[in-house]
Structure 1
Amino acid sequence: MVEFERNANIIDDKCPRHSIMIGRYKQSFAYYTLRERLPVILTKVIDDLSQNKDTIINECSEEAREELKIVVGNISELKYQLQTDKELYPLETNEIDKSTWNIFLSSLPENERTYFSTCWLWAECYLYRRLKTIFEATTTLKNFDYFKSSKQKALIGSKDSIVSLVKSTRQTLTLDSDIDKYFKKLLYLDLWGNKCDLSITEGKDIKQTGDQLEAVDHLKEYILIDQAEEIWNLISQKYTGERYIDFICDNAGYELFTDFLLAEYIIEHKLATKIRFYIKAIPWFISDTTPEDFEWVLKYLYENNNEELKLIGNKWKSLVDQGKFILLEPDRFFISPYEYYRMKEIAPHLYDKLSEAHLLIIKGDLNYRKLLGDFTWDYTEKFETCLRGFNPTNICSLRTVKADLICGLEEGLAEKLFEKDSNWMLTGEYGTVMLQLHKN
């Protein structure tokens, strides 16, 4: 430990205010993630591959037996490079984002090209992208999702809760009164669905229990910034022609289920005509949604032996078939190291696409970090300032707080929370519902 800290120039302090978050600072969540969480996640991938190799070979081919040995060895090497703060080497892959990544890596100053010396966001995204390249180099495992089992268990383990949600939300869909009340309830439900984050639990199984729609009424005090009323005022505005609401999704499984519930409500009450979903192209941060996860959740529901789940699964599949739920082709910008304020420059086609929407609902902690850029803003800094010009349309951020950065808090609130719990920013106990209106 002492030798590592000396070689990596570790500083026993917090990240300074108004600076990029770097793993070099020992009292930061960036350091803890790189030093503790990510090695555990890589070890779990290795263990899962080893324990399930016979199943994987049966699904792929006998050739996968030897390739699994190579993959496990390469993941072990990746883990060693992380734990010894090695350089962020150029990606070796034939995928289309190779040049994007390697141009970015070559642009880093030479003294900021290791895991603990560069921005935490960049280092963590790089690790997950490097992990995927190991599988891309194989013949039989190119499309293998090494996080699939964990994601699916998170929804299956929450079956009782989602059955309860289906029953309670069927009643709200038929009501023509209190639309604002139930919209906000489902917005809060979608916020707290973000607690189902496997990366924060290092891949350990999690599940939701109880009536979550009822629970949201008791969680209001934990929402540190609540602009649900302003979001309702925006979304309830009258319109003519087509109106898109876009979701930049976060976790698969239970959280995606809550995304669908909110999206269904929006469509049923004609608050928009189409919902578009943006997801990840590859397995990402353990639980992030891929196209296969999107399809699997629908299939799990419409093939379920529970009648309520079967009915809602068929309905949502019908919304997909009708073009009211639209799963967009994954854009590689979302698995790049770039923050959102760089999107207009790096991926102008995506920025223009988002500009078509009336409202952009951005889910989760990683997306929040990309909005703020892993920068230690003042806790009271305006959301608009932290977005640094990212302004394609009206933006709603739904996030449970699981990393030590935040903005938009009332004066003195952060200090009160620290007095109560020094780790309040890391637990997912608190949430934010934030809105930034589009400015022409």
Structure 2
Amino acid sequence: MSPDEAPVVTGAEPGSFARSVLAERHPALLGRVSAAFPWPPERRRALDGLLGEVSGGVIAPLPADAHDAGGWGAHVGRSWFEVPFLWAESYFYRRLLAATGYFEPGPWRGVDPFGPFKRDELRGAAVDEELAALDDLGASSGDALLRSALWGNRADLGFRMSASEGDPSASHPVADDSARLWSLLPVGGAAEVHLIADNAGRELIPDLVLLDHLLHTGRAARAVLHLKPYPYFVSDAVTADFLAALDRLRAAPGHAAAGIGARLWSALSAGRLGVGAHPFFCAPYPYEAMPDDLRRDLSKATVTILKGDLNYRRLVGDHHWPATTPFADRVARFPGPVAALRTLKSDVVVGLDTPTLTTLEAGGTPWRTTGTHALIQVSP
């Protein structure tokens, strides 16, 4: 099925997941951001104006002098609920940054509006418990570390604003190509692994632990961590979040986490661990539309691991695909082998076999959006 045949996901359908995000989650987030800082009157007015717009108005343009104003005009003047969901979500976060003055000269330039939420999570007791658990995991427990990175995606702050985290121990991946992933990364194979991160904090830490495992055990000779160039989707990781997570690991004396943090610090200094933040990671387009410079960079990878729901939607296309659509068909234009690690929190899913899909549909629960199911898919 081509993209022209599979309907694009929008928020037009009452009761749909996409509509609930646009009508409920985004206004709730604006309330939290408004309360998180002592915004001056002009910033508060801008936030209130955006709230009124997303609550029932039409899409307004960015300020004419915005550095990227020309790239966001496709759906201006239309209802937020009628345009592609991927675009609407991305543009909402870009408008939120405009409202807070993130890109403008002045005292609020570069201030992450989601920073307080990220810091609170990273300092929390749950992170202490997870770091302590590394002591019992063992340095060679690759499968356990892969599962930790997979289920870490349920720590998405935006998801937890509107639903409980679920219990991953009660579920198994609905698709599991982990054996294929390990076959691409034999010990001593001099692989280069790229990981396109999703969320900061409790999700980014297991991602870093997984990268350390690959480097430390010789499954990778080099790794590259790709982050967002600016705050995006509430909790998506930027470079400052990476450094904060690295410090959190290093500040765990007496635990395996401290050793992991020290090794990652050394790997970063030695160039065995690289960091990227391409502007395309904050663009409202599928990965098949990535620019040539990013395509060349990712083509160097033995395998690129994509984390999270948003990356998955961009990887396969944010359309209502039949769930049995082959994963390989939807990622055929990606520049090299690709692995998706994703906790399901939106409607889009491909690559399921018919018996699995039949069982899931017969369960009577919204398995696509609750974060209680996950997948590991690899191609080729």
Name the TM-score, length of structure 2 as normaliser: 0.91
| Mapping of residues 293-312 of structure 1, within 5 Å | 293-304=241-252, 308-312=256-260
The correspondence for 2:322, drawn from 346, 365, 378, is 378
The correspondence for 2:289, drawn from 342, 354, 358, is 342
Structure with the larger helix share: 1
> Given that residues 132 and 282 in structure 1 are in contact (C-alpha distance below 8 angstroms), is that contact kept between their aligned partners in structure 2?
no
The correspondence for 2:27, drawn from 3, 20, 39, is 39
The correspondence for 2:205, drawn from 225, 233, 257, is 257
Q: Determine whether 1:326 maps to 2:287.
A: no
**Paired letter, 1:31:** R
User: Partner of 1:60 in structure 2?
Assistant: none
| Mapping of residues 25-104 of structure 1, within 5 Å | 25-49=13-37, 53=38, 68-90=40-62, 92=64, 94-95=66-67, 97-99=68-70, 101-102=71-72
Q: CA deviation at 1:247?
A: 0.4
Counterpart secondary structure, 2:247: helix
| Mapping of residues 136-215 of structure 1, within 5 Å | 136-137=103-104, 139-157=106-124, 158-169=126-137, 171-173=138-140, 182-202=141-161
Partners of 1:93 and 1:354 lie apart in 2 by 33
Partners of 1:77 and 1:94 lie apart in 2 by 18
| Mapping of residues 221-240 of structure 1, within 5 Å | 221-236=171-186, 239=189
Partners of 2:51 and 2:105 lie apart in 1 by 19
| Mapping of residues 420-431 of structure 1, within 5 Å | 420-431=363-374
Give 5+ residue unaligned stretches, structure 1. Answer: 1-16, 54-66, 174-181, 209-214
User: Partner of 2:261 in structure 1?
Assistant: 313
Counterpart secondary structure, 1:35: helix
Q: CA deviation at 1:73?
A: 1.1
Q: CA deviation at 1:244?
A: 1.3
Q: Deviations over 1:96-138 (max 9, x none)?
A: x443x23xx34x5x88x33111000100000001111222235
**Paired letter, 1:165:** A
| Mapping of residues 402-417 of structure 1, within 5 Å | 402-417=345-360
User: Partner of 2:300 in structure 1?
Assistant: 356
Partners of 1:262 and 1:301 lie apart in 2 by 13
Q: CA deviation at 1:93?
A: 5.1
Give 5+ residue unaligned stretches, structure 2. Answer: none
Deviates more, 1:397-406 or 1:126-135: 126-135
Counterpart secondary structure, 2:323: coil
User: Partner of 1:176 in structure 2?
Assistant: none
User: Partner of 1:279 in structure 2?
Assistant: 227
Partners of 1:290 and 1:71 lie apart in 2 by 23
Counterpart secondary structure, 1:327: strand
> Given that residues 166 and 312 in structure 1 are in contact (C-alpha distance below 8 angstroms), is that contact kept between their aligned partners in structure 2?
no
Classify 1:82/1:207 alpha carbon distance in 2 versus 1 (closer, same or farther; 3 Å).
Answer: closer
Say how many residue pairs are matched: 374
**Paired letter, 1:254:** R
Q: CA deviation at 1:154?
A: 2.0
Q: CA deviation at 1:238?
A: 5.8
User: Partner of 1:288 in structure 2?
Assistant: 236
Classify 1:156/1:385 alpha carbon distance in 2 versus 1 (closer, same or farther; 3 Å).
Answer: same
Partners of 1:78 and 1:306 lie apart in 2 by 47
Partners of 1:417 and 1:266 lie apart in 2 by 33
Partners of 2:90 and 2:293 lie apart in 1 by 22
> Given that residues 34 and 82 in structure 1 are in contact (C-alpha distance below 8 angstroms), is that contact kept between their aligned partners in structure 2?
yes
Name the TM-score, length of structure 1 as normaliser: 0.79
Classify 1:41/1:92 alpha carbon distance in 2 versus 1 (closer, same or farther; 3 Å).
Answer: farther
Partners of 2:63 and 2:294 lie apart in 1 by 23
Partners of 1:207 and 1:312 lie apart in 2 by 27
**Paired letter, 1:184:** D
Partners of 1:421 and 1:247 lie apart in 2 by 34
The correspondence for 1:391, drawn from 334, 342, 352, is 334
User: Partner of 1:132 in structure 2?
Assistant: 97
**Moved runs in structure 1, 4+ residues, more than 6 A?**
none
Q: Deviations over 1:226-273 (max 9, x none)?
A: 00011111111764xx53100000011111110111111111111111
Higher relative contact order structure (alpha carbons within 8 Å, sequence separation ≥ 6): 2
